[in-house]
Amino acid sequence: DAVKRVFSGIQPTGIPHLGNYLGAIESWVRLQDKHSSVLYSIVDLHSITAAQDPAVLRQSILDMTAALLACGINPEKSILFQQSQVSEHTQLSWILTCMVRLPRLQHLHQWKAKTAKQKHDGTVGLLTYPVLQAADVLLYKSTHVPVGEDQVQHMELVQDLARGFNRKYGEFFPVPKSILTSMKKVKSLRDPSAKMSKSDPDKLATVGLTDSPEQIVQKFRKAVTDFTSEVTYDPASRGGVSNMVAIHAAVTGLPVEEVVRRSAGIDTARYKLLVADAVIEKLAPIRSEIEKLKMDKGHLQKVLQAGSVKAKELAYPVCQEVKELVGF
Ligand code: ADP
Ligand code: NA
């Protein structure tokens, strides 16, 4: 199928981590070079489905913007914008919310997983979050959406909503396809059975894009491996070492087999430091660019505003047509 429009979103969690970079942002950069109509949204409306602090959120939006630009997202090649500045997202979201039945949302894995962890009931916003995601995608009549494996179920909902809308109102939305990122999940450095995550309470588990070389060395030194000293790639039985190999391959651009071949005779303790060095080298220019961009808040705000104006130009007519179809 022809790629006509690519859309993806990322929550403004502040400075992203190595998993976000290798699993999402790096492929976003490739996609903007390959395709002519690409939109990337900082999805701040999604952020308030979890408890948020206004000052922290405001800063996190700017930090994420700085990081995306530093990683190579280029506003000349893709539209980078702030979701809440394009009010059509919430309008379409409401219309779609009225087309989905409660159990469809209650059965989604992420809702179940997130509410299982909480002491209190989840908010209605957390429940309907995937419908807002559907609105994000459909508002631009997107044909392709780069996502991680954990989002496949939500993409099925997006597709069902597109089909459901088309059945009721006539062919209108393309049914968008997922572009699965080739990178398997980067694992926690402390627990290779878990993914590297921003919300991990163990600060040694996650590498941030602005971590200093000293911090990176410390985190890799403390990374959990096993009692075999040889470097092999076997994610099922040797999660920790395999995570090192996967990270090493990803930051050097070499195939996994080549990375393993070059590590022959090196024990895992030394290997972890080699991987740390490769990560430091990969992140050095990104880190310094983020620090530079962060100093010019006005510039970051301007980039987001300009992107949001462009996004709005695409969103407005689609939303108008939807409203007419619905009978408004
Ligand atoms: P986090 O789990 O740290 O809160 P998000 O869920 O906000 O991260 O994910 C943002 C993007 O980064 C998504 O596209 C997601 O698939 C990707 N991503 C998050 N963590 C990882 C990881 N450990 N490895 C690879 N990709 C990841
Ligand atoms: Na482009």
- In this prediction the pTM is 0.95
Judge whether 195 counts as a catalytic residue: yes
The torsion of the CA quartet 286, 290, 293, 297, rounded to 10 degrees, works out to 160
Q: Is 114 among the catalytic positions?
A: yes
The model's pLDDT over 28-64, given as tens digits with 9 standing for 90+, comes to 999 999 999 999 999 999 999 998 999 999 999 999 9
Atom 12, ligand 1: which residue's CA is nearest?
20
Q: Are 10 and 64 in contact (CB under 8 A)?
A: yes
Q: Which residue's CA lies nearest to atom 11 of ligand 1?
A: 20
Q: Model ipTM?
A: 0.93
Query: Would you state the pLDDT for residue 229?
Result: 93
- For the question of residue 198 being annotated catalytic, the response is yes
**Separation between Cα atoms, residue 50 and residue 63, nearest integer Å:** 19
**Ligand having the closest approach to the CA of 24:** 1
Ligand 1: residues with CB < 6 A are: 10-11, 13, 17, 19-20, 23-24, 148, 150, 183, 185-186, 195-199
Predicted pLDDT of residue 141: 98
* Averaged confidence pLDDT in the chain: 96
pLDDT at 1 over 90: no
> Which residues on neighbouring strands pair with residue 298, listed in sequence order?
none
* Digit-coded pLDDT (tens) for 307-327: 999 999 999 999 999 999 999
pLDDT, residue 148, reads 83
Which domains, from first to last, does the chain contain? 6-185+297-326 (3.40.50.620), 213-292 (1.10.240.10)
pLDDT digits (tens, 9 = 90+) for 125-166: 999 999 999 999 999 999 999 998 888 899 999 999 999 999
Q: What is the DSSP string of 257-269?
A: HHHHHHTTT--HH
Q: Which long-range contacts (CB under 8 A, 24 or more apart) does 212-216 make?
A: 213/280, 213/284, 216/276, 216/279, 216/280, 216/283
Q: Is the pLDDT confidence value at 184 over 80?
A: no
**What is the DSSP annotation of 114-178?**
HHHH-SSPPPHHHHHHHHHHHHHHHTTT-SEEEE-GGGHHHHHHHHHHHHHHHHHH-S-S---EE
Per the listing, tokens 């470097």 go with: 231
Question: What pLDDT, on the 0 to 100 scale, is given for residue 119?
Answer: 84
Q: Which of 217, 206, 213 is nearest to 243 (CA)?
A: 206
